[in-house]
Amino acid sequence: MVHSLGRKDIIEFLIGRKFPPFVLANLPAKPPPKGTTTLDRFLRHQEMERYRGELQALTDEQLQARHHSEQAKLLDEIQREEETRFFNQPHAAADFDHWSKAEHWSLEEAVALAMGKAPELVSWEKIQGYGQVSPFVQKYGRLRDLAHRAVPWKKLYDPVLPTIFLKWAKDNKITVPAKLSEKVFELKGEAADWKKEAADWKENCDELHAMYDQHIADWKKIADQLTAEVLSGRKRISELEQLLLDSETASVAPQTLKPQSPVERQNMLKVIFSMAIRGYAYKPEDKRSTVVTEIVGDTALQGIAVSDDTVRRYLNEARECLREWRESSR
Question: Residue 12's domain spans which residues?
Answer: 7-84
Same structural domain for residues 95 and 151? yes
Whether 91 contacts 33, CB under 8 Å: no
Residue 308's Cβ-count burial label (10 Å; 0-12, 13-18, 19+) is middle
Q: Which DSSP category does 259 fall into?
A: P
Residues 6+ apart with CB under 8 A from 216: none
Q: Is residue 251 included in any domain, yes or no?
A: no
C-alpha torsion sign, points 183, 186, 188, 189: positive
Please say which residue of 192, 207, 236 terminates a domain: 192
Same structural domain for residues 188 and 276? no
Q: How far is CA 114 from CA 110, 181, 222, in A?
A: 6, 9, 61
Whether 89 contacts 127, CB under 8 Å: no
User: How far out from the chain centre does Cα 200 lie?
Assistant: 24
* Amino acid symbol at 114: A
d(CA 236, CA 240) in angstroms, rounded, equals 6
| pLDDT tens, N- to C-terminus, the chain (330 residues) | 444 678 999 999 888 888 876 434 444 445 555 555 666 777 788 888 999 999 999 999 999 998 999 888 887 877 788 889 999 999 999 999 999 999 999 999 999 999 999 999 999 999 999 999 899 999 999 999 999 999 999 999 999 999 999 999 999 999 999 999 999 999 988 655 556 666 666 787 788 778 788 878 878 888 788 788 778 877 878 777 787 777 766 655 455 556 778 878 888 888 888 888 888 888 877 777 788 888 888 888 888 888 888 888 888 888 788 777 777 766
Whether 276 contacts 295, CB under 8 Å: yes
Q: How far is CA 25 from CA 8, 22, 35, 45, 49, in A?
A: 22, 9, 19, 11, 15
| Residue-level pLDDT at 197 | 61
Q: Is residue 160 included in any domain, yes or no?
A: yes
Q: How far is CA 179 from CA 84, 111, 116, 166, in A?
A: 25, 15, 10, 12
Same structural domain for residues 97 and 187? yes
User: Facing residues of 117 across strands?
Assistant: 93
Please say which residue of 57, 84, 111 terminates a domain: 84
Same structural domain for residues 66 and 122? no
d(CA 320, CA 268) in angstroms, rounded, equals 14
Same structural domain for residues 174 and 105? yes
Q: Is residue 277 included in any domain, yes or no?
A: yes
Same structural domain for residues 100 and 172? yes
Q: Is residue 49 included in any domain, yes or no?
A: yes
d(CA 213, CA 210) in angstroms, rounded, equals 5
Q: Is residue 312 included in any domain, yes or no?
A: yes
Residues 6+ apart with CB under 8 A from 108: 119, 123, 124, 144
How many other C-beta atoms can be found within 10 angstroms of the C-beta atom of residue 215? 10
d(CA 203, CA 101) in angstroms, rounded, equals 33
Same structural domain for residues 59 and 141? no
Q: Is residue 253 included in any domain, yes or no?
A: no
Same structural domain for residues 163 and 115? yes
The count of structural domains within the chain is 4
| Residue-level pLDDT at 256 | 53
Same structural domain for residues 77 and 120? no
Same structural domain for residues 187 and 216? no
Same structural domain for residues 182 and 204? no
Q: Is residue 48 included in any domain, yes or no?
A: yes
Q: Is residue 1 included in any domain, yes or no?
A: no
| Residue-level pLDDT at 13 | 87
d(CA 234, CA 260) in angstroms, rounded, equals 31
Please say which residue of 84, 104, 137 terminates a domain: 84
Same structural domain for residues 77 and 94? no
